[in-house]
Structure 1
Amino acid sequence: MPTMMLLFQFKPEQVQQIREIAPDWTIVSGKANEMSKEQYLEAEVICGWNSSVAEALEGRCKLKWVQTISAGIDKLPLNKLEQHGVYLTSASGIHPVSMAETFFAMLLAFSRNLHHAIRNQSDRNWMPSEHYSQLSGKTIAIIGVGTIGAEIARLSGAFGMRTLGVRRSGLPVPGVHEMYGMEALHEVLLQSDVVVNVLPHTEETHHLFNAQRFEQMKPETLFFNLGRGASVNTADLVQALQNSTLAGAGLDVFETEPLPNDHPLWTMDNVIITPHIGGWTDHYKQKMADIFLPNLQAYLAEGKPRSNLVDYKHSY
């Protein structure tokens, strides 16, 4: 009897749905530290990830498919998974609404200086800002337009913003006024008042945003990173913020997480920091079930999950 391991904590009714889809399977559900080494070695399908899964790949494991619970898979041992012939599916598509809302929470805070107001409130300090702005009429660049970028573009239109998009294919996306390939990134940055990075981390995107890129932006540009921390050279970003090459930054992801408590980004009044929570939502378990259950049905019927398959060649 094949074994399926659920490291993600689905609701009881969702676990029951899984059991009904795979009645002939042994289904092990629980926290990572509750599982034995033997269970990891026996598992053919795993929903979730931890270091014990990576360790199992070093032995004679039976693993054939891993469903992650995040869209990003850059921290997984992709080479080892590919060598073992393991299908890897991500949670891509689960985050558009929550990520877009996190981005606009940051952007509106900058526009109306709410981040300063909140800090002043803690000190009971009545101090209006010298500058307030509006989003209507501004140009936003979405770098890495996928499902998250498309949702950001949709909401940007509601605010009356002009939307530019960049992605590898350069193909058009509904809601994006102008689409470009990565080769035109320089041209897009020159035009933009707001730049939001939602790129995955790959060899091609590592430190894509560096001193040269920040210098291509206007001094009043706001930069946001909700993609992957390693796509930004953090030292160059700090310098750009300190010397006013950039007006401000909203950051949910970092090269080192948690962000060290002595890092200069913490004390900058033109920076908003959130602790890598942009994708989290109270609907997360249902959204994961919406991905995993159809994929499980396809795996049992066809021997291969159908959606969100990671292309090892491109690392996403």
Structure 2
Amino acid sequence: MSRRKIVFVRAMESESIQKVKEIAPDWEVISGKEQSDWENDIKEAEIIVGWRKGLDELCLTPDSKLRWLQSWSAGINYLPLEKLAEKNVNLTNASGVHAYPISETIFALMLSLTRKIHTYIRNQASKTWDEADIKLEIHHKTIGIIGIGAIGKETAKIAKAFNMTVLGVRNSNKPEEYVDEMYTTDELHSVLPRCDYVVVTLPLTADTHHLFSYEQFKQMKPSAFFINIGRGELANEKELIQALQDQQIAGAGLDVFSTEPLEENNPLWDMANVIITPHTAGLTEFYEKRVVEDIFLPNLTAYLDGDTPHVNLIDYAKGY
């Protein structure tokens, strides 16, 4: 009788593989960066960790054994969700892994825009000594965090170290530690005019697609900064560019874009009040350890006991 299989479609540290084998000693565990490392096993895989383009043609066939997919990222909009739902595949994501690195990136962007660090770096390249009309402080300002998940909560916690007023937005207006006032998405128009910084940490769903358009940017203060580390299509990029050009907002820190890599002719590259990072906000030396130990192993234990994986289980109807 062939052994049940777990396939990691990525190269994993030996320590991670060993921890999986300790929980599932009777299973075959395959890991590899190249398709040749696992292509002969993928059709037999009951559990897959990670995803590759075109993988659905290999493992979502009528005779597929796939029962659980662990996404390596928090975002799942790139996955064949309809096919996965149709085959009743349990889907879990990596939400929560990114709280520390992304919250650090959020404040790196906010502080750089506030204290003109990005301008000084450009000036350093040309050996230009210029004060750049610096005057802003981040202390005691108001931050609006659109999406109070793990990232939003950690961002709110850090904001309190700067004595900021924290306004939170999420589907539920249930109170949250470190958030002074909580609002629902329908009340976004009441939040934006009060914010000095608007930070978007939402997942991309049908409801959040282009949540930010010119109308929302017009509701913000002309002195406010827009930070997006969620997904590029949460904002209408053309209208964001227009708002920046019209000085409807003071600037933006962007880690995500509608098209990635960002096209060379995109106006955002040349805007002095914009900081661009290449979708790296969540990268960290501890990424694999957190996905495996905090999410995958607890879920694997539950799965082997006959239960549904419970950590970060995706509701296909909601899209998150």
Q: TM-score range by the shorter chain?
A: over 0.9
Of residues 31, 34, 50, the one that matches 2:33 is 31
What residue in structure 1 maps to residue 302 of structure 2?
298
Q: Note closer, same or farther for the CA distance 1:35–1:55 as it changes in structure 2 (3 Å cut).
A: farther
- Aligned counterpart for 1:20 among listed residues 22, 25, 35: 22
Q: Does the 8 Å CA contact 1:113/1:132 hold for their aligned counterparts?
A: no
2:19 aligned partner, one-letter code: Q
Matched residues, number: 316
Match of 1:97 among 89, 100, 103: 100
The residue correspondences of 1:83-162 to structure 2 (distance < 5 A) are 83-162=86-165
**Are the aligned partners of 1:40 and 1:61 in contact in 2 as well (CA < 8 Å)?**
no
**1:208 matched to 2:211:** yes
Partner SS state of residue 220, structure 1: coil
1:43 aligned partner: 45
Of the candidates 289, 292, 308, which is equivalent to residue 312 of structure 2? 308
Q: 1:183 is matched with which residue? A: 186
Contact 2:31–2:38 under 8 Å retained in 1: no
* Aligned mates of 1:59, 1:34 — CA distance in 2: 23
Name the SS for the 1:302 alignment partner.
coil
What is the rounded CA distance, in whole Å, between the counterparts of 1:296 and 1:92 in structure 2? 17
Correspondence list, 1:231-246, <5 A: 231-246=234-249
1:7–1:49 contact (8 Å) kept in structure 2:
yes
- Indicate the percent of aligned positions where both proteins have the same amino acid: 47
User: CA offsets per residue over residues 29-70 of structure 1, 9 Å max, x none?
Assistant: 111422454422111101111124222214521100000111
**Shift of the alpha carbon at 1:132?**
2.3
For 1:188 and 1:246, locate their aligned partners in 2 and report how far apart those are by CA, in whole Å.
15
Amino acid in the other structure paired with 1:299: Y
Q: Alpha carbon RMSD of aligned pairs, Å?
A: 1.1
Choose 22-31 or 53-62, whichever is displaced more.
Answer: 53-62
Deviation by residue 1:149-208 (Cα, 9 ceiling, x = unmatched): 000000000011100000001111100000011111000001111100011100000001
- Within 5 Å, which residues of 2 pair with 1:164-179? 164-179=167-182
In 1, distance between residues paired with 2:81 and 2:265? 32
Letter in 2 for 1:54: D
Q: Within the alignment, does 1:71 sit opposite 2:46 as a pair?
A: no
Q: Secondary structure at the match of 2:226?
A: strand
Per-residue deviation, residues 6-33 of structure 1 (Å, max 9, x unmatched): 1243311111111111111111111142
CA contact (8 A) 1:64 1:87 kept: yes
Q: Does the 8 A contact of 1:8 with 1:69 survive in 2? A: no
Larger mean Cα displacement after TM superposition, 48-57 or 221-230: 48-57
Residue 257 of structure 1 aligns with which residue? 260
Task: State the Cα deviation string for residues 102-161 of structure 1 (Å, max 9, x = none).
Answer: 000011101110000000001111111113211112110000111100000000000111
Aligned equivalents of 2:40 and 2:66: distance in 1? 12
Q: Secondary structure at the match of 1:196?
A: strand
2:64 to 57, 61, 66: 61
